[in-house]
């Protein structure tokens, strides 16, 4: 929050601040330009640097905005891309022509982005205020024994080297830190050179000859600088004052602190050692190592190793004892001369490597080293893109390596952030994928506090890259480091002898401790063999004895590890088998159920289909000539009625005919022939009517009989159809029966498979028991070792043929025969 011009109230609750990049819609004004805010941020005190007591620290991410150079000022570029809103927030507004603006116009992303930082330092902030506002408190913590890592991140030409090193007149963070440290230890310096940092965080006790060697190396290094200076001055044709004072004049006369030096009342002493190396094209080079004069001779790269505690260190890296800031500056100068720099399109002298300057401070009480603390300042190479910098050939390869290691750094930071946001998750952090992250790993994992300085320049031409850097930093800001609150005194460094063996108070070599202390890389390798050949015979024998012991111990460790791995693998296999068996039986049951269901459904479908079919057929056949049953019965009744009437008519006809005969006979005797003829005509007429009725009735009867016959025929056909339907139903039932039988067969197959599985279960459990017996025979060591992965790989890829496998079989035999006789490893 800006109180008034020139004053800033530091946000009391940094955690509450927005820590991610916020995308805003265009509309924020360009008002309140940089100069207003930059003057404000310059006086921010180190109050915000207070570490939390909980041991959790949000990664400090500072932003430094470089001022425009004269050329940039006079160019026509948009100079309003970066707007400092407050001491913690900054707006980035995409300039015309930038890819970001083009994308936002297409509706992808926004044109304005807002970022927050632990603290923002504008272009007018000078080096002294920047130091005060950023790492000064961390340097104080370092003097109290806390490790620290400070690294700068940004595109090329953004001011990273300027921030870390500065210039002779305007020194940067490193010279200021050195100066502060020397002021703090003034009068308490350990004036001997016999205690030297060793491996990652231990101390080596040097013998007189080693001390001599150290001194001569240092003198040679300084002589080299003098020589080079002489050569340069001859080439320049200027005269140079070669006295020590002239060299130490490189030190920072401009630095002045109100630092009261403690009076030397205690027996505490401090010894300071510095190293300077670079990571160039994924290879580590010692910048304090003279560059080979022969043109075709290459600099030798150093190896990154891990000590017994898993911390990475650069093997054979030179550490030089420095007594004052002048000497430290000369070391920095020598290293800078050897550093890989080149002229790129964007920067006249662009650092093409990541350079790391490390200061190790030993706190010594009497002859006891109480603690060792480490401060590293890392100047990362620029994160530019190749097309912007017009890089080709070697430059392109450099850019590729730079971008790759920065990409991995980004991945590590993102994974750390992810793990912080969800404590339950423990995502893999790819520290081992680049040398840079390997060396940063221990700090990020709690060995010390890290702090990131983001450098940007405001040029519109590099806006897209700058935005990328800002997004990276937004992620970094969310990383929370968990640092043990215990002071480092509790972790007093291990003191080792001249040949790297740990020393105990009475001077006796502790072989056991040594064995567990040395890393795999410290075991016999080609270089060791080469070194051995120049030792006297007695020493050689000792070395051989020592190596034999180490080898034995290593073999035992490998054996135990292999047994453990095999046991783990056995358990895992068993688990997998059980799981797959369970899965299979579940699948079988489900399959059975689904088959049964399908069969039932098909059966029902067939049944329905048959019914439908029969019904349809019957319907089709009777549809046209359908006669209702009631009608049929009515017709039958009518026929019966007609038949009855016909019989009656016939009877009546007969009786009439008889009467006619009688009457005729009577008439022939009694009546006149005329009346008789009339009567006969009338009777004949009656007879004719009756006969007609009879014929009609007979025709009707015939018709009805035909109808009955056709209906009987239809019924016959219907019963035939039903018969056919019944037969097809029987066929389908037989089919269903067949399917049921095959299902029963499958059930038997499942049972057989289950029996097989049970047999395999017993086999696995017998194997597990065997393994358990084996592991009982060999007490396990759960300490994880480097090379475990190699062992696993070996045992997984060639468990029978691999050397580890052979070792196991041999060792198992040897162990089983010897366990009863002796226990050599206890």
Ligand X SMILES: Nc1ncnc2c1ncn2[C@@H]1O[C@H](COP(=O)(O)OP(=O)(O)OP(=O)(O)O)[C@@H](O)[C@H]1O
When asked if residue 395 is in the footprint of ligand X (CB under 6 A), the reply is: no
| CB-CB contact of 719 with 618 (8 Å) | no
CA atoms of 224 and 656, how far apart (whole Å) = 169
When asked if residue 335 is in the footprint of ligand X (CB under 6 A), the reply is: no
Q: Which is nearer to ligand X, 303 or 471 (CB)?
A: 471
CA atoms of 185 and 263, how far apart (whole Å) = 10
Shortest distance, CB of residue 347 to ligand X, whole angstroms? Answer: 4
DSSP-derived secondary structure letter, 11: P
CA dihedral sign of residues 793, 798, 803, 808: positive
CA atoms of 399 and 384, how far apart (whole Å) = 8
Structure tokens at 230: 């002489």
| CB-CB contact of 82 with 113 (8 Å) | no
When asked if residue 778 is in the footprint of ligand X (CB under 6 A), the reply is: no
Shortest distance, CB of residue 382 to ligand X, whole angstroms? Answer: 3
Q: Which is nearer to ligand X, 416 or 459 (CB)?
A: 459
Strand partners, 149: 376, 450
Q: Is 122 known as a binding-site position? A: no
When asked if residue 122 is in the footprint of ligand X (CB under 6 A), the reply is: no
Q: Which is nearer to ligand X, 149 or 381 (CB)?
A: 381
Hunting for tokens 């272009």 — which residue is that? 123
| CB-CB contact of 339 with 351 (8 Å) | yes
- Closest to 371 (Cα-Cα) out of 194, 146, 183, 137: 146
When asked if residue 66 is in the footprint of ligand X (CB under 6 A), the reply is: yes
Q: Is 158 known as a binding-site position? A: yes
Q: Is 97 known as a binding-site position? A: no
Mask for 419-458, x = binds ligand X (CB under 6 A): ------------------------------------x---
Closest residue to bound ligand X by CB: 159
When asked if residue 147 is in the footprint of ligand X (CB under 6 A), the reply is: no
10 Å CB burial of residue 384 (0-12, 13-18, 19+) is: buried
Task: Pick from 89, 119, 137, 157 the residue near ligand X by CB under 6 A.
Answer: 157
Task: Pick from 162, 176, 435, 477 the residue near ligand X by CB under 6 A.
Answer: 162
Q: What are phi and psi of 17, to 5 degrees?
A: -70, 155
Hunting for tokens 């009068």 — which residue is that? 187
Shortest distance, CB of residue 330 to ligand X, whole angstroms? Answer: 21
Task: Pick from 67, 400, 497, 787 the residue near ligand X by CB under 6 A.
Answer: 67
Q: How many residues lie near ligand X (CB under 6 A)? A: 16
Distances (CA, A) of 558 to 4, 510, 565, 802: 68, 21, 10, 13
For residues 487-516, which are near ligand X according to CB under 6 A?
none
String of b and e for 186-225 (b: at least 16 CB within 10 Å)?
A: eebbbeebbbbbbbbbbbbbbeeeebeebeeebeebbebb
Q: Is 698 left (phi over 0), alpha (psi -120 to 50) or beta?
A: alpha
Task: Pick from 88, 104, 161, 561 the residue near ligand X by CB under 6 A.
Answer: 161
When asked if residue 38 is in the footprint of ligand X (CB under 6 A), the reply is: no
Q: Which is nearer to ligand X, 347 or 815 (CB)?
A: 347
Hunting for tokens 């900054």 — which residue is that? 90
Q: Which is nearer to ligand X, 159 or 410 (CB)?
A: 159
Shortest distance, CB of residue 98 to ligand X, whole angstroms? Answer: 20
For residues 339-378, which are near ligand X according to CB under 6 A?
347, 350-351
Please tell me the total number of residues recorded for the chain in this structure: 826
Q: Which is nearer to ligand X, 340 or 815 (CB)?
A: 340
Q: Which is nearer to ligand X, 90 or 158 (CB)?
A: 158
Q: Is 55 known as a binding-site position? A: no
Report the SS3 class of residue 211. Answer: helix
CA atoms of 179 and 182, how far apart (whole Å) = 5
CA 702 to chain centre: 99
Q: Is 155 known as a binding-site position? A: yes
Shortest distance, CB of residue 161 to ligand X, whole angstroms? Answer: 3
| CB-CB contact of 826 with 789 (8 Å) | no
Shortest distance, CB of residue 1 to ligand X, whole angstroms? Answer: 25
When asked if residue 269 is in the footprint of ligand X (CB under 6 A), the reply is: no
Structure tokens at 105: 């116009």
When asked if residue 254 is in the footprint of ligand X (CB under 6 A), the reply is: no
Q: Which is nearer to ligand X, 469 or 514 (CB)?
A: 469
Q: Is 161 known as a binding-site position? A: yes
Q: Which residue stretch of 151-159, 220-228, 491-499, 541-549 sits at the interface with ligand X (rule: CB under 6 A)?
A: 151-159
When asked if residue 308 is in the footprint of ligand X (CB under 6 A), the reply is: no
When asked if residue 176 is in the footprint of ligand X (CB under 6 A), the reply is: no
Q: Is 768 known as a binding-site position? A: no
Task: Pick from 175, 308, 335, 382 the residue near ligand X by CB under 6 A.
Answer: 382
Q: Is 802 known as a binding-site position? A: no
Structure tokens at 7: 């004053």
When asked if residue 154 is in the footprint of ligand X (CB under 6 A), the reply is: yes
CA atoms of 271 and 800, how far apart (whole Å) = 53
- Contacts with ligand X by CB under 6 A lie at 66-67, 154, 156-162, 347, 350-351, 381-382, 455
Q: Residues forming the annotated binding site for ATP?
A: 154-161
Question: Which residues contribute to the annotated binding site?
Answer: 154-161
């Amino acid at each position: 929050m800006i109180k008034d011009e020139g004053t800033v109230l530091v946000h009391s609750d940094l955690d509450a601040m927005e820590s991610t990049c916020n995308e805003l819609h265009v509309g924020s004004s360009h008002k309140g330009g940089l100069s207003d805010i930059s003057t404000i941020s310059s006086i921010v005190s180190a109050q915000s640097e207070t570490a939390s007591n909980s041991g959790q620290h949000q990664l400090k991410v500072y932003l430094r905005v470089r001022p425009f150079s004269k050329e940039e000022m006079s160019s026509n570029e948009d100079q309003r891309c970066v707007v400092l809103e407050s001491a913690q927030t900054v707006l980035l507004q995409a300039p015309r022509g930038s890819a970001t603006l083009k994308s936002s116009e297409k509706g992808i992303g926004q044109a304005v982005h807002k970022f927050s930082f632990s603290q923002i330092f504008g272009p007018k902030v000078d080096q002294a205020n920047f130091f005060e506002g950023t790492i000064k408190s961390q340097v104080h913590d370092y003097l109290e024994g806390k490790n620290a890592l400070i690294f700068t991140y940004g595109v090329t030409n953004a001011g990273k080297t300027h921030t870390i090193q500065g210039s002779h007149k305007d020194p940067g963070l490193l010279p200021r830190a050195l100066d502060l440290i020397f002021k703090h230890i003034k009068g308490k310096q350990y004036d001997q050179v016999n205690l030297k940092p060793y491996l990652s965080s231990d101390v080596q006790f040097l013998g007189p000859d080693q001390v001599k060697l150290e001194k001569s190396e240092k003198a040679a290094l300084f002589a080299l600088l003098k020589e080079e200076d002489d050569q340069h001055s001859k080439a320049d044709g200027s005269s140079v004052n070669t006295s020590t004072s002239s060299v130490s004049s490189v030190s920072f006369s401009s630095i002045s602190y109100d630092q009261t030096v403690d009076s030397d009342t205690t027996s505490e002493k401090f010894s300071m050692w510095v190293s300077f190396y670079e990571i160039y094209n994924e290879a580590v080079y010692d910048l304090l190592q003279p560059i080979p004069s022969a043109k075709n001779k290459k600099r030798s790269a150093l190896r990154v190793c891990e000590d017994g505690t898993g911390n990475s260190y650069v093997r054979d890296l030179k550490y030089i004892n420095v007594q004052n800031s002048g000497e430290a500056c000369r070391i920095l100068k020598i290293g800078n001369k050897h550093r890989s720099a080149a002229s790129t399109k964007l920067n006249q002298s662009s650092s093409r490597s990541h350079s790391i300057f490390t200061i190790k401070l030993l706190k010594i009480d009497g002859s006891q080293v109480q603690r060792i603390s480490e401060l590293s300042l890392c100047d990362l190479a620029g994160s530019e893109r190749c097309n912007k910098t017009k890089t080709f050939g070697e430059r392109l390869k450099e850019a590729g390596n730079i971008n790759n290691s920065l990409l991995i750094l980004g991945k590590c930071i993102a994974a750390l952030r992810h793990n912080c946001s969800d404590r339950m998750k423990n995502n893999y952090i790819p520290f081992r994928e680049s040398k840079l992250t390997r060396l940063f790993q221990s700090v990020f994992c709690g060995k010390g506090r890290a702090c990131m300085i983001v450098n940007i320049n405001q040029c519109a031409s590099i806006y897209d890259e700058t935005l990328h850097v800002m997004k990276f930093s937004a992620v970094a800001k969310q990383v929370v480091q968990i640092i043990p609150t215990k002071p480092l005194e509790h972790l007093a460094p291990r003191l080792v002898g001249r040949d790297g063996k740990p020393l105990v108070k009475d001077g006796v070599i502790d072989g056991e401790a040594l064995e567990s202390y040395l890393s795999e890389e410290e075991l016999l390798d080609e270089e060791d063999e080469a070194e051995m050949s120049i030792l006297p015979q007695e020493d050689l024998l000792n070395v051989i004895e020592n190596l034999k012991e180490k080898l034995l111990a290593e073999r035992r460790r490998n054996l135990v590890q292999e047994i453990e791995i095999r046991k783990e693998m056995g358990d895992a296999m068993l688990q997998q088998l059980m799981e797959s068996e369970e899965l299979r039986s579940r699948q079988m049951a489900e399959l059975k159920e689904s088959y049964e269901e399908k069969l039932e459904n098909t059966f029902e479908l067939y049944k329905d289909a048959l019914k439908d079919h029969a019904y349809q057929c019957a319907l089709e056949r009777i549809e046209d000539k359908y006669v209702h049953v009631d009608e049929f019965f009515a017709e039958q009744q009518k026929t019966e009625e007609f038949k009855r009437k016909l019989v009656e008519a016939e009877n009546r006809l007969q009786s009439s005919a008889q009467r006619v005969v009688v009457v005729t006979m009577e008439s022939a005797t009694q009546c006149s022939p005329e009346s008789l003829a009339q009567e006969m005509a009338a009777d004949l007429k009656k007879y004719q009517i009756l006969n007609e009725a009879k014929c009609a009735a007979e025709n009707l009867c015939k018709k009805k009989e035909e109808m009955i016959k056709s209906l009987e025929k239809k019924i016959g056909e219907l019963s035939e159809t039903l018969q056919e339907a019944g037969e097809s139903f029987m066929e389908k039932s037989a089919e269903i029966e067949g399917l049921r039988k095959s299902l029963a067969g499958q059930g038997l197959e499942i049972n057989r498979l289950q029996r097989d599985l049970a047999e395999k279960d017993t086999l696995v459990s017998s194997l597990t028991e065997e393994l358990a017996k084996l592991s009982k025979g060999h007490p396990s060591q759960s300490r994880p070792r480097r090379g475990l992965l190699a062992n696993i790989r070996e045992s997984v890829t060639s468990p029978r043929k691999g050397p580890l496998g052979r070792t196991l079989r041999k060792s198992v035999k040897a162990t089983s025969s010897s366990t009863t006789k002796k226990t050599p490893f206890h």
